[in-house]
Amino acid sequence: MSSTATLAPDHDAQLPHTTPSIGQTISARISRAEELNDEHPQQGYSWALPGRPPALCWTNRQQWLIAVDIFLLTEDGRRLCRSLGIAPATVRAIARACAAFADSKTGRGVSASNQTLGAWAAAKARRARPWKHDVVSYARKVLSAAGLAVEVARGRYLTAEERLAAAVHHDGVQIRAASVWALVLPRRWAVKSYLPRRGPTGSKAPRRYTSPKRTRARAQAPSGRSQSPEARPRTRAAHVVTAQLVAEAPSLDTGRHLGALVDVVTDLVNCQRWTGRDLVTVLNEDARNSPRDWPSTIQNPAGFLRHRLIRITDRLAGPSPSEVAADHAARVRAEQEARRQEQQDAQARAASPDTVRSAMADIRATLQQRRLARPPRRALAAGTSRTS
């Protein structure tokens, strides 16, 4: 037998309890906070509460703000503002502040507090004092009732774990977190404008000008030029109206000659009464009354413009917006001139101070003469009444 003792496993023996050190505990909690921040990505200078964002999002900031303006102009929007005791202009200012703090692509992640939104909106509106907390809350209720904003997480005090995650995120002390909102644009509020957005609209070297078909036509034509129908006369007024129209709607300018657009304007528009800005105004009105989707680029501006102008032929036969504005201004000037003439006539009829003093002196002299010409009254005896 060996003299070396054999250590057999003792199931009754208990292992000593090991307590983690303070450094290990801090490292573990920081690791957990970093994992929490990775699960819910944070941005900005404050820690935002996690939440499930809605499926909808906005298309862009400008269209969402246009949708807010449209809702505030409706009867339902005005009624909702009256019920909450807030002005539509205030809701519009708060909405612009929310849009400024939202993600530009999705409209989500509005984690700014009501105090921050009220101060930002007041600064943009050039207001002396920022809007209070309740005013911002009412404005958010209006946006939520309109379906243009969704509350993802309600603001509250943070837990100990969340405070540590906030400290890891921005290296500061944060006790509370504001509500998290997402700005959405439902399909029924999608803004559909007539004119495509500004910017380049296509190639500036159309393929048809260099196609073999046109090359053969130029080669077969006399003097090396392609045969073209007899050109119609284009007046200077038509050129001016077309230039104004293209300036207001750059998407109609595809880099080609504007003669085709001038021909359309000459055929369908009275250039003596309508301007290019008037055409853009009535086209936008027609698009708002019958909204529909339009292409982002226009390959055939002349055909597109002809189609749209034919739809509003009756409107083009009536007075133009500039004529309506001119008539209104003429009426206002006539009323002002009439009031000015009445004031001048009244001043002309009014007597001067010298005339008033002279007339009063004449009146006093006449009254004095009458008193002198009146016979004196006889004195009554003592004790007799006037009746006897």
User: Pairing between strand 180-183 and 149-153?
Assistant: antiparallel
Mean pLDDT is lowest, of 31-40, 195-204, 264-273, 292-301, for 195-204
pLDDT given for residue 134 in this prediction: 92
Report which listed range, 178-192, 241-255, 269-283, is most confident. 269-283
Higher pLDDT, 191 or 56: 56
Q: Read off the pLDDT of each residue in 272-282 and give the average, rounded to a whole number.
A: 86
Token pair 């957005």 is found at: 197
Angle at 65 between CA 61 and CA 70, to 5 degrees: 150
Higher pLDDT, 286 or 255: 286
Mean pLDDT is lowest, of 85-99, 191-205, 343-357, for 191-205
> For the chain, which residues make up each domain, given as ranges?
30-189, 232-317, 321-366
pLDDT given for residue 223 in this prediction: 44
pLDDT given for residue 5 in this prediction: 39
> Can you tell me whether residue 183 is helix, strand or coil?
strand
Residue 196 has pLDDT above 80, yes or no: no
Give the span between the Cα atoms of 269 and 276, in whole angstroms: 10
Give the span between the Cα atoms of 386 and 388, in whole angstroms: 6
Give the span between the Cα atoms of 298 and 305, in whole angstroms: 10
Q: Read off the pLDDT of each residue in 302-315 and give the average, rounded to a whole number.
A: 84
pLDDT band at 8 (very low <50, low <70, confident <90, very high): very low
Alpha-carbon dihedral angle through residues 113, 118, 124, 126, given to the nearest 10 degrees: -160
Higher pLDDT, 221 or 168: 168
Q: What is the pLDDT of residues 109-159, one digit of tens each?
A: 888 889 999 999 999 888 899 999 999 999 999 999 988 999 988 888 888
Percentage of residues of the chain with pLDDT beyond 90 = 16
Percentage of residues of the chain with pLDDT beyond 70 = 74
Residue 272 has pLDDT above 60, yes or no: yes
Backbone angles phi, psi at 82, to 5 degrees: -65, -40
Give the span between the Cα atoms of 195 and 249, in whole angstroms: 7
Q: Read off the pLDDT of each residue in 217-243 and give the average, rounded to a whole number.
A: 63
